[in-house]
Amino acid sequence: MGAGMSFDGDNSGEKSSVSRRKLEDIPESCIAMVLGYLDPPEICRLARINRAFRDASSADFIWVNKLPTNYSFIIHKLSDKYKDDYEDINSHSSDDKMVGLTKKNVFARLSRPNLFDSGTKEIWLDKNTGGVCVSISSKALSITGIDDRRYWNHIPTEESRFQTVAYLLQIWWFEVCGELEFKFPVGTYGIFFRLHLGKSSKRFGRRICNVEHIHGWNVRPVRFQLTTSDGQQTVSEYYLDSPGSWILYHGGDFIIKDPDKLIKIKFSARQIDCTHMKGGLSLDSVMILPKSIAHTA
């Protein structure tokens, strides 16, 4: 019986030793290696567990793999916005322009909406995948008749990333064109026109939609076209519908194979059948999104 008691006592001591082990006992390098396999939101959640996880989650080798391959190009585009973070911007390579920032902080900054080109375009990283997303304001687009208030007005709204949209009263010739020259990481991207039939506003704190000018969009479809400098081209057509809701109309896809090459993308939306007028349309922006996340936009 004594032997039995002695054995129980030793086993209890072993259990006690094991029970005293904590997550903090795991080497930080091991934690960082595991975190490297997770998505950014999961890494940030685990970083709240304790100090060891928080410190491990800041390792540069984790976040450099979460950043897009063209992040230096993006930083260069945003150099004016972040000029206060730079130390002698001309003396550093494009990889080092965010002086003093960890790769985790670079990812965090780029995951926010970042305006460029005088505030007419915006870029951000998808927080889950690190995918590059771009939005182009209506003010950066070439719109037929935009300077004539009989046809178009710019109206302020909280429903746009750019705080303003172009609103069409009525017109015979509907044509919106734009272009972007950019470096994208390898992948497939989609062009989307963010449109809204009707004019939304707020009354007594509630959203309302004025539909009085909506007409002509059910007669002929709008043709969306996309071309790229490397020869890609797509065409699609849609009848505009669903008054009162913002809709992303898919204008086409393009594929990036060389991330180091500038590509020029031209896109347009047209309904130029002059047998009837059309109106009552709000135009917010054109968005370029990775196809892997486009359905969540």
Written as six digits, the tokens of 9 are: 């006592």
Q: Give 43-102 pLDDT, tens digit per residue.
A: 989 888 888 888 888 999 999 999 999 999 999 988 765 544 434 333 344 444 455 688
The label of the residue with tokens 């709204």 reads 157
Residue type, 14: E
CA separation (Å) from 136 to 39, 55, 180, 289? 27, 37, 9, 12
Q: Which residues contact 271 (CB under 8 A, 6 or more apart)?
A: 174, 216, 217, 220, 221, 222, 223, 278
SS3 12: helix
The label of the residue with tokens 């460029």 reads 116
Q: 99, 98, 96: which is closest to 114 by C-alpha?
A: 98
What DSSP string runs through 162-175? TSEEEEE--BS-EE
Please give the model's pTM, rounded to 2 decimal places: 0.83
279, β-bridge pairs: 215
Q: What pLDDT, on a 0 to 100 scale, did the predictor assign at position 125? A: 97
Supply the mean pLDDT for the chain: 86
98, β-bridge pairs: none
Q: 146, 64, 56, 50: which is closest to 101 by C-alpha?
A: 64
Q: Give 170-195 pLDDT, tens digit per residue.
A: 999 999 999 999 999 999 999 999 99
Q: Give 12-31 pLDDT, tens digit per residue.
A: 555 555 556 666 667 777 88
